[in-house]
Amino acid sequence: MLITSVFGMIFILNDQYAYAGLSFAIAGALLAFLFFNFEPAKVFMGDSGSLVVGFSISVLAIQLFNLSMQTGNVAFYASPNLVAATLFILIFDLSRVSFIRIANGGSPFKADRSHIHHMIARQQFGHRGTTFIMVSYNAFFILLALIFPSASFVTFLIACYAFAIFLINNKVAGIIAGVRNKFVGAPKLEVN
């Protein structure tokens, strides 16, 4: 939802109203889905739904990159840095998981539970807490792009990876869980 909402705002700032409408339509559909997907979930997206959403985000991102490469009166908000920052959690998660799988001698295409959301969920934040933390990380990188608009694309990407390696790991997730436990108490474990 955050990605398509940001993309929609970028398209509006660049007078691309058809793409903005598509972006906000996807964000609205995801908002409705999210409402029914929180625990206890009544609907599940599945592979087909996530592939359609991923494809749509890819098309919108490519259009934004094309827009940023055009000469003329294009607003700063169509910069490749902002587009990459909006997608950075996805980019980082894919590269991180692929690296871990290959380093362990496995296939990068074999499913496992090493994704960022699994790491956060293992700290027992639950569905809502994990979602909130993931959206917060994503918003941080978007804010970083807005604070440093003139950074070169490569420098910005390297800085994002450095921040991500520092911020998005088991140790930091454990610290966040410790702070949560101190203020609101540890979650009760379900016994089966």
pLDDT in the model for residue 192: 46
pLDDT in the model for residue 191: 47
pLDDT in the model for residue 14: 86
CA distances from 74 to 80, 85, 181 (A): 12, 18, 47
Q: Are 113 and 49 in contact (CB under 8 A)?
A: no
The rounded Cα 86 to chain-centroid distance in angstroms is 7
b/e burial code for range 94-110 (CB count within 10 A of at least 16 → b)? eebbeeebeeeeeeeee
Residue 119: is its pLDDT beyond 50? yes
This prediction has a pTM of 0.85
Average pLDDT of the residues in 61-85 = 77
Closest CA to 168 of 101, 100, 104: 100
Return the minimum-mean-pLDDT range out of 2-6, 16-20, 124-128. 124-128
CA distances from 125 to 30, 137, 173, 175, 189 (A): 22, 15, 10, 12, 11
Average pLDDT of the residues in 87-98 = 93
SS (H, E, C) 129-152: HHHHHHHHHHHHHHHHHHHCCCCC
Residue 188: is its pLDDT beyond 50? yes
CA distances from 66 to 22, 62, 87 (A): 17, 6, 16
